[in-house]
Amino acid sequence: MIAGLLLVITSSPLQAACPPLLDLRVRTLASEESVHLCERYAGKVLLVVNTASKCAFTDQYAGLEKLYDRYRERGLVVLGFPSNDFLGQEPGTEKQIQEFCRLTYGVEFPMFEKTRVKAPDAHPFYESLARETGKRPRWNFHKYLISRDGRAVGSFGSTVAPTDKELIQTIEAEIAKPAPTR
């Protein structure tokens, strides 16, 4: 009983420190490995993007990779979530998606399992993002920005390119803020 109580006491602060938005596990693309978003990305600024390989906006992969490369040392992580929700523009298997992203665009930012982003069947992560921002993805390459303390602080539609001035200014403002202490 003492060991059980000790476990609760020692694990509670970590759980309390995890922002609810990031308190979930997602599977990495084309793998069996799953990651807990809070454990892996605590204190980082996250740009969450629903992606597709056969879309007019697919070239945004290149810009997203440039953003990731430019700002990752300062705390930005781009998270890609392939989705087939919009006109079936992500029909491939996860392995095909992974190969396409790496070979065509040199994508190194983390990519995750093929995900439903459209209501009513949206993944809980996307439901939470929509609830916090008041905006749902209306197409592929919708972007959500999550602050270092795990709050959704921005929502950018598909037509907002990764090089967009407002998006970059918002990212720079967020990465300039110190990471919260746990």
Per-residue pLDDT in tens (0 to 9) along the chain, 182 residues: 444 444 443 443 444 589 999 999 999 999 999 999 999 999 999 999 999 999 999 999 999 999 999 999 999 999 999 999 999 999 999 999 999 999 999 999 999 999 999 999 999 999 999 999 999 999 999 999 999 999 999 999 999 999 999 999 999 999 999 988 76
pLDDT of residue 17: 83
Active site (annotated) includes residue 55: yes
pLDDT of residue 6: 42
Percentages (nearest 5) of helix, strand, coil residues in the chain:
40, 20, 45
pLDDT of residue 7: 41
Give dist(CA 48, CA 13) in Å, integer. Answer: 26
Give dist(CA 78, CA 108) in Å, integer. Answer: 9
pLDDT of residue 142: 99
Label residues 45-68 b or e (16+ Cβ within 10 Å = b): bbbbbbbbbebebbebbebbbebb
pLDDT of residue 8: 41
Which CATH topology does 30-175 take? Glutaredoxin (3.40.30)
The structure tokens 């459209």 sit at 118
Select which of 18, 38, 55, 101 is catalytic.
55
